Structure 1
Amino acid sequence: MKATVDGTVIAEAPQEDLIKIEGNWYFPPASVGSDRLEPSPTPYTCPWKGPCQYFDVVVDGKRRPDLAWAYPHLIDGAVQRVGKDFSNYVAFAPGVEVSG
């Protein structure tokens, strides 16, 4: 699967390596172009996943705020609820096209 912005691939991995949580595909950390993501100061904590790290997506010098996020430090029970460790996996908001 691929995640793209304006035709530029920012993440790519086989579907079996992704995890679907609450309707969002989470890409393994190694499959995401780290040069495309810059940490955002936007705070959020999910009640069952834990503290979230938002990222701005940068393509062709254009910054798109908070279009990606990950959970670097999962709280107790999150892995059991999903069935797999998804810490640091990256998901994308509308504005990023995720397709197979």
Structure 2
Amino acid sequence: MARAIFNGTVLAETERPELVEGNVYFPPEAVHDEYLTRTRRVSVCPWKGIARYYTVTVDGREARNAGWSYPHPSPLARKIKNHVAFWGDVEVEP
């Protein structure tokens, strides 16, 4: 069971994560999106496409740009479309 935890709260949990380049991507239905706020940050991956970022907020504590997803990935990365990955202060248990 893969889980993402921040400030003692489970942000996402799934038995079917997608693992890409060492990152755990959680399917949209496994993510508690009430803890996520989209930011203006974007990045570009040559083979996945444009990533959008989220700040995670739990009980007033924030982890800025600690989550990201590919809403419109390239065809090579279609299996992670709308999945969310986490890093930084978010603990990810693969």
Q: Same fold (TM over 0.5)?
A: yes
Q: TM-score, normalised by structure 2?
A: 0.91
Greater gyration radius: 1
- What's the offset of the Cα at 1:77? 2.6
CA displacement 1:3-36 (0-9 Å, x = unmatched)? 101211111111xx10111101000011111101
Evaluate the alpha carbon distance shift between residue 13 and residue 76 of structure 1 in structure 2; reply closer, same or farther with a 3 A threshold. Answer: closer
Q: Which structure shows the bigger proportion of residues in strand conformation? A: 2
Tell me the equivalent position of 2:34.
Answer: 35
Following TM superposition, the consecutive aligned residue runs of length 4 or more in structure 1 with deviations greater than 3 angstroms are: none
Tell me the equivalent position of 2:8.
Answer: 7
Evaluate the alpha carbon distance shift between residue 10 and residue 47 of structure 1 in structure 2; reply closer, same or farther with a 3 A threshold. Answer: same
The residue correspondences of 1:69-84 to structure 2 (distance < 5 A) are 69-79=68-78
Measured on the aligned residues, the alpha-carbon RMSD in Å equals 1.2
Residue 86 of structure 2 is aligned to residue 92 of structure 1 = yes
Q: Structure 1 regions of 5+ residues with no counterpart? A: 80-84
